[in-house]
Structure 1
Amino acid sequence: MGDIAKGALGGAWTLLVGWVLPTALNLAVLTTTLLPSLREVPPFEHAASLAAGRGAPAFLTGSLMLGLVLNALQNPLYRILEGYLLWPAPAYAYGCRRHQAIRRSLTDRLVLLRLERRAADASLSVIDRADLTLLSHSPHLARYRDLDQRSTVTRRALLQERLARYPVGDGHLAPTRLGNAIRRFEVYAYDRYQLDSQLLWNELTATAPEQARRQVDTARTSVDFFVCLLYGHLALLLAAAVTLTSTTTGRPAVATTAVVLAALVPVWYRSAVSATDEWAAAVRALVNVGRHPLAASLGLDIPKELAAERTMWSLVSRIPRIPYHEHAAALDRYRRSPAPAGDDVT
């Protein structure tokens, strides 16, 4: 039944689930817990009629309209959580340094666990033994040593999962967990193939298999859902603060609602970060299987050697980014030969 609904709704499925549904949930909290206490506050006295059950059409219309607005604003909303928008320069730099240290700590912990496991089998080289001694006495790993030594295979896999949510290279780090979790798959294509997927995203999605494109949209919907819930809860917290300072009606219920909302905000943020795992896997699949039809649509043949392919995509990525230069003629050796006259072109 879910697949039938998705097929019927098409592209609207991601909009409804990612933005309209969480907006409706937030409005439901607003109308049931906050608006009844705001009947005497002039800006909200007319909206309070929704809490009495007389505004179901208005509730649905409001959910749809606000969901559409949030969907249109998704880029700045994401950029705030990623740390790119409205972040002061000192906060941005501190966040990047902090996550650089976290990533280094995760890497060292995993390396230490691997070396200790190999040391038990007496299969360490001289260099590995030196690394093991250095990491064993490292001050920044002392707090994790006992916990890691008692960790199970599952806990070690969770450490690897946390490390995988960071992009490669310090130059790609973002100041927030969500920013790094998204940045890791934004730079995947460039790191592996020198293909700037951000710059060529429209071309890539236009030529990739439909199933790969659908997987990306579906995976992003989960992240959109939690991001929308998070922003809605922040708006509700602001409304709760206005309620507590403007009226004495229903204060216990409003205060309880505010506490619950404040506790749920970090939960939704962590859920959004975790949901990027599926999004990253979908983008990785899109790049791996989509670069071949992309090359064909551009009239190019992908070389057999990976190094040559990386050179080709590097040249392709320069064309939309910078004005034409004669050095772009180096792409000619990768272009397909024209089909003989009279041959069918499929």
Structure 2
Amino acid sequence: MGDIAKGVLGGGWSLLVGWVLPSAINLAVLLLAVGPQLRGDLGALDRMRPGTAGDAALLLLFGSILLGLVLNALQTLLYRFLEGYVLWPAWAYDHGCRVQRARRQRIKDRLETPDARLSPIRLGVLHERAERYPHRDEQVGPTSLANAIRRFEEYGHDRYRLDTQVLWNELMAAVPPQTSRAAETSRTSVDFFVALLYGHAGVAVAALAALPVAEDRALVLSAAALLCALVPLWYRSAVVATDEWAAAVRALVNLGRKPLADALGLELPQELAAERTMWRLVTRMSRRPYHPAAEEAFAPFRAAPGEPCLRRCGDAS
């Protein structure tokens, strides 16, 4: 029983809460708000109607699992569209980046010259909003979600030159289990709101498509309007939920540098400048073909078993 609980609290929990549960909510809305209003000869849809409450429950269960698995498999594409990296024309991407940079600058200006009427709580909220942006202008993306995610994607590189996008699997394998588990489950809330957002949009489209054969068109139209009105709320909730994800990734980088260096056969330098040089080399080694010059470049950082690491940090930096 304990092993089952551990499995549920691991990756299965993220899948269940992040993708299957919102799929169940959206299917329930579709079955309860739209389904009963459909009348007339619907062909194959008529044969799929559940005859009893038990049949409806089974349809909801298996449909939720199937839809949750599909959404989980497509999560990269779903995220990238909301971040503005996929299916966005160049002009929309550029316009979004300009808008986000201007919004970030307005928040920074308000923090640098705060209004005396702002309470400490409002100032704290402004600081939270400012922290949901990358520190460098060239890293600012076209949407709020893109920037909220980009801020922790660049954290390791900005501080230590450790590119977590390239070394993510190695980093997850090297850190203690509780740290890697926290990093895996911290995005569950974001997944939940993203799945809810797409599901609401899909149900709204289905409701609008069903209007010609709906018995109570006003009810179906009202349901579609309500779902559309909730989509921006779920998007905003997803952006706010990235705070926990960002904290987990920050802990992963800060606590995982030493275990990762040990696992790679390297010794973490005491000087920060030398450490940044080392992680830059590791990232370059992972992204580019091997070059004989890497032998000399890595020599100051390689740890010999049972012997102290003799590094020339001054020369490397």
TM-score normalized with structure 2 length = 0.91
- One-letter code of the match for 2:266? L
**What is the distance in 1 between the residues matched to 2:51 and 2:118?**
52
**What is the distance in 1 between the residues matched to 2:173 and 2:137?**
31
Superposed CA offset, 1:259-317 (max 9, x none): 21111101100000000000000000000001110000000001101111001100110
**Once the 2 structures are TM-superposed, how far is the Cα of residue 38 of structure 1 from its aligned partner?**
2.3
Larger deviation: 326-335 or 221-230?
326-335
Write out aligned runs for 1:65-80 (5 A).
65-80=66-81
How many residue pairs match? The answer is: 303
Partner SS for 1:174: coil
- One-letter code of the match for 1:325? H
* 2:6 equivalent in structure 1: 7
* 1:301 equivalent in structure 2: 267
CA pair 276-92 structure 1, distance change in 2 beyond 3 A = same
**Does residue 268 in structure 1 map to residue 234 in structure 2?**
yes
**Does residue 290 in structure 1 map to residue 241 in structure 2?**
no
Query: Is the CA contact (8 Å cut-off) linking 2:14 and 2:185 kept in structure 1?
Result: yes
**Once the 2 structures are TM-superposed, how far is the Cα of residue 326 of structure 1 from its aligned partner?**
2.8
RMSD over aligned CA atoms reads 1.7
* 1:166 equivalent in structure 2: 133
* 1:193 equivalent in structure 2: 160
- One-letter code of the match for 1:322? R
- One-letter code of the match for 2:63? G
* 1:38 equivalent in structure 2: 38
**Does residue 315 in structure 1 map to residue 264 in structure 2?**
no
Larger deviation: 46-55 or 292-301?
46-55
**What is the distance in 2 between the residues matched to 1:239 and 1:55?**
19
Larger deviation: 42-51 or 223-232?
42-51
- One-letter code of the match for 1:177? S
**What is the distance in 1 between the residues matched to 2:154 and 2:15?**
26
* 1:63 equivalent in structure 2: 64
**Once the 2 structures are TM-superposed, how far is the Cα of residue 337 of structure 1 from its aligned partner?**
1.6
Query: Is the CA contact (8 Å cut-off) linking 1:212 and 1:285 kept in structure 2?
Result: yes
**Does residue 281 in structure 1 map to residue 280 in structure 2?**
no
Write out aligned runs for 1:177-192 (5 A).
177-192=144-159
Find 1:226's aligned residue among 176, 193, 208: 193
**What is the distance in 2 between the residues matched to 1:209 and 1:306?**
23
- One-letter code of the match for 2:14? T
**What is the distance in 2 between the residues matched to 1:199 and 1:338?**
27
Partner SS for 2:210: helix
* 2:17 equivalent in structure 1: 17
**Once the 2 structures are TM-superposed, how far is the Cα of residue 335 of structure 1 from its aligned partner?**
0.5
Tell me which structure has the larger Cα radius of gyration.
1
CA pair 43-184 structure 1, distance change in 2 beyond 3 A = farther
* 1:100 equivalent in structure 2: 101
Which runs of no fewer than 5 residues in structure 2 stay unpaired?
A: 308-317
* 2:116 equivalent in structure 1: 149
Query: Is the CA contact (8 Å cut-off) linking 1:38 and 1:44 kept in structure 2?
Result: no
- One-letter code of the match for 2:192? F
Query: Is the CA contact (8 Å cut-off) linking 2:141 and 2:147 kept in structure 1?
Result: yes
